[in-house]
Structure 1
Amino acid sequence: MARSLPHFHGQIVTDDSESLHVSTDVLIVGGGPAATWAAVAAAESGASVTLVDKGYVGASGVAATAGVGHWLVPPVPERRDEEISRRERSGGFITDRVWTEAVLDEAWERTALIPEWGYKPSAKPRSPGSLFGARPGERSFSGAAPDYLRFLRGKVKKSGVHVLDHSPALELLVDSNGTVSGATGYQRQVKRPWRVDAGAVILATGGTTWKSHSLGGDVNTGEGHLMAVEVGAHLSSMEFSNFYGMVPFGTSMDKNGFFVSASYWDHRGEPIRYHDLHQSRAELLGASLRGTITAQFTQFDKEIWPALRAAMPNFFMVTDKLGIDPFNERFPMDWVQEGTVRGTGGIHILDYEASTGVSGLYAAGDIAARDRIVGAATGAGGPNLSWAIATGTWAGRAAAGFSAHRGLPTRFDVEPSGTLGVRGRGVNNVDDVVRSIQSEMLPIDKAVFRSNDGLADSAARLDRLWESASSAPIVEYSGMEAIAQRESAGMLAMGRWAVRTAMARTETRGMHTRTDFPDTDSSQAHRLLSGGLDDIWVEPDTELPRVGITLATQGSAS
């Protein structure tokens, strides 16, 4: 029986012990910063909005385990040029100034609204400076992620958004014209399937870590990317999907703000020199293959140690438990693959509406490629958060407008679009397949130090897994089994796209290191697009990077 919820002006068509069916203008899949900003923007535009998340909105995923430090640069030409030029250099000159300006503008305007909305952090804010790059006299927004995300969840609810926690999506719905028209999924806690018919869909499911045990990252398994490609979306910069986070040895605490300018020693106690740990960590990663390396946060003055502890209390909770004083002593460290969460690859969006090129489908946050703002380097926390705000806002507004023009789809004109892991083909043993994927995507000697022979071997192994699953007997997957199948299918698909794109970039640039092509090739200063399911394709992006001419010339000459 149809019913209504307070403040939600969509429709609950069915809500019983067997199933949930909702009709809404905009469906958002995900629950982190990009998803919540998209929900607020869509609601501001007058749309009815439903948001579904694999976890608890505002408390799951990588953002929930970190500090909040947005990349905020005032609209002052000199400051913008300084910041953008720095990202161009570290990003290998495949960034885009026009896109970066647009992201910085949107983040600057939207974060100014947060105090007006009533945000009150529980901890006293730090003075601008050291860790997140703000300067005296400039506006900054930083603090503890739990405060920020809890506030965004409240803002979403107050905006009338219908929130479904612990409700992972499994596949998109499309109408006879190929327009995305909603999604289906499963509610884990109440053990029932759900279906949402929507005039437009925004994917904001984050990046992919291949379940490396990156802190908060094991929910990021790539099925959002798979859903997008199943309906015709393309990917960008998937070769830059191999960023490794630093952790105190034996832990998963990969919050890296303190590590990027620390001091390091190899297993013999010799100092390790490095260039730019945002751009590449090859110097340290190579040393780690020869033995355990140690680190120490020698870069910070004693006066700011309390502020650093307040900014990232969960990091120091771990070091305190281990009996480590990272400011005064060397400690052993290790690595965890952060994939496309800290890498830059993802869905290729086309414009400032965050459209994917597929009618009715938009993408926001880490699921979308951040290559236009950070290139071949990591986006880290600040740029990724500003990207989440900008693309979330763009997607929310555009999806609301598209849905208003289109109207709600007719239920009987809509079909599911899933391939591997739903309503048919899947893997025989999920755990074994996940381990096989991880054996190609996680080891440093494979994922960081790449060569054509090594990449071809990984591609062949991953292709065999895909072919085996695609040719398996048809089985009806449902419930928790369907979730596990789709997660493994997403990880497998992301691995295949990453490896094939890495094979196509025959040079070293940013985090992409080719041992057989150790130099940077100026003729490859372009981004790479990819896609396909059974047959994967890779080709140069026809949209060329717009970078500072002088800097680009200097970069090519070097």
Structure 2
Amino acid sequence: LSGMEFSNEYSISPRWNSTRTLIYSYARYFDERGNELDVLPTNYVLERALVNGPVYALLNECPDALRKALPQIQPMTLLPFVRKGISDVYEKPFEVKLFPEGTIRGTGGLRIVGDQCQTTIPGLFAAGDTATRELITGATSGGGSPNSAWALTSGMLSGAGAAELARSRGRRLDSRPRPQGTVGLRPRSNVKPVDRRSLLEAAQNEILPLDKNVFRSGPKLENSLAVLDSAWRELRDHDYATGTDAVTARETASVVATARLCYTAALTRDESRGMHQREDAPEQKADQARRLLIGGLDEVWTRPEAHEQWRPTHV
């Protein structure tokens, strides 16, 4: 994978709902005492305020043209207010929250090594949010439009690549896929009951809070990784599931594994760049102006990408 340290994007929304962010470009923000916050895209004032208490948004400066167009271009934005019985959306403050969107609006994902979105695993092609988007957005979030364009483009490229590969290999009726999954399916040690809900909540308590995932530092990351590593060992050694229960087991393992990758990459990149901000390393470092590769399950490894590695041939 690549860019997993750039996977801590949060999106603003009413506290009771998921994200639709267009109108918040025109929002004013206030703390619980009514003091207006000087919120800028890069000053993290909003994030710090939310760590300390409730924050309210006021949309009275939203342009009339957008107000009229919003029901057509983004109808889901207003639906949460309608369900709450709020009719004066643009005139009264309402409480907001930052929702974590991880690798979705973040940037990290499977490393791309070819013009048809090939990965380092033969036969595996990546598209959309599964793949790293560093190639189009660098260390910042692609948000809606760039990520949408990437999803369409990478889907076409990877689909064509996979079809060409399958056609070149022909039908293989004499072989069967071999199962490779381990955690939750083939435990390393003795099978025993595992409290997946508690382990999932433990992982969420490390990867979701703003004070841990936005305002990062070496000690915070190390403490979180100790919790995540312990959860991983418990799942790896003892969890076993069959049938539909295996879905829950694999989902839990996936959350823990992804969190470990994100935080290991963040600990390795001891600088601040893009959405990855370290309180104990607030400056950019010239020698780290390169992608950071990461992989592994039991033993997570990292290494900088060599400068002679593949670069896209299409613009």
* TM-score over 0.5 for the pair: yes
Partner of 2:40: 275
Aligned length: 306
Partner of 1:528: 292
Partner of 2:313: none
Report if aligned partners of 1:352, 1:391 keep a CA contact under 8 Å in 2.
no
Deviation of 1:265 after TM superposition, in Å, equals: 2.0
Deviation of 1:285 after TM superposition, in Å, equals: 0.5
Q: Secondary structure at the match of 1:454?
A: helix
Q: Does 1:401 align with 2:164?
A: yes
Distance 2:7 2:229 in 1: 18
Q: Does 1:288 align with 2:50?
A: yes
Report if aligned partners of 1:350, 1:356 keep a CA contact under 8 Å in 2.
yes
| Alignment of structure 1 residues 225-304 onto 2, 5 Å | 235-249=1-15, 251-276=16-41, 280=42, 282-304=44-66
Distance 2:104 2:180 in 1: 25
From 355, 370, 373, give the equivalent of 2:136. 373
Partner of 1:191: none
Q: 1:269 to 1:522 in 2, by over 3 A?
A: farther
Report if aligned partners of 1:324, 1:331 keep a CA contact under 8 Å in 2.
no
Distance 1:342 1:429 in 2: 30
Report if aligned partners of 2:271, 2:283 keep a CA contact under 8 Å in 1.
yes
Q: 1:281 to 1:368 in 2, by over 3 A?
A: farther
Report if aligned partners of 2:26, 2:62 keep a CA contact under 8 Å in 1.
no
Following superposition, which runs of at least 4 residues in structure 1 exceed 6 angstroms of deviation?
none
Distance 1:365 1:267 in 2: 39
| Alignment of structure 1 residues 83-482 onto 2, 5 Å | 235-249=1-15, 251-276=16-41, 280=42, 282-322=44-84, 323=86, 325-412=88-175, 414-424=177-187, 428-472=194-238, 475=240, 477-482=241-246
TM-score by length of 1: 0.52
Q: Which runs of 5+ in 1 are unaligned?
A: 1-234, 546-558
TM-score by length of 2: 0.90
Q: Which runs of 5+ in 2 are unaligned?
A: 310-315
Distance 2:63 2:26 in 1: 13
Comparing both structures, which one devotes a greater share of its residues to strand? 1
Distance 1:252 1:480 in 2: 29
Partner of 1:513: 277
Name the aligned partner's letter for residue 264 of structure 1: Y
Deviation string 1:102-159 (CA, Å, 9 cap, x unpaired) is xxxxxxxxxxxxxxxxxxxxxxxxxxxxxxxxxxxxxxxxxxxxxxxxxxxxxxxxxx
Distance 1:524 1:487 in 2: 33
Percent identity of paired positions between Structure 1 and Structure 2: 35
Name the aligned partner's letter for residue 319 of structure 1: F
Q: Secondary structure at the match of 1:535?
A: coil
Distance 2:37 2:5 in 1: 26
Report if aligned partners of 1:448, 1:512 keep a CA contact under 8 Å in 2.
yes
Q: Secondary structure at the match of 1:450?
A: coil
Q: 1:297 to 1:281 in 2, by over 3 A?
A: farther
Deviation of 1:356 after TM superposition, in Å, equals: 0.5
Deviation of 1:238 after TM superposition, in Å, equals: 0.5
Distance 1:260 1:541 in 2: 35
Name the aligned partner's letter for residue 456 of structure 1: E
From 209, 229, 248, give the equivalent of 1:484. 248
Deviation of 1:544 after TM superposition, in Å, equals: 7.9
Q: 1:324 to 1:335 in 2, by over 3 A?
A: farther
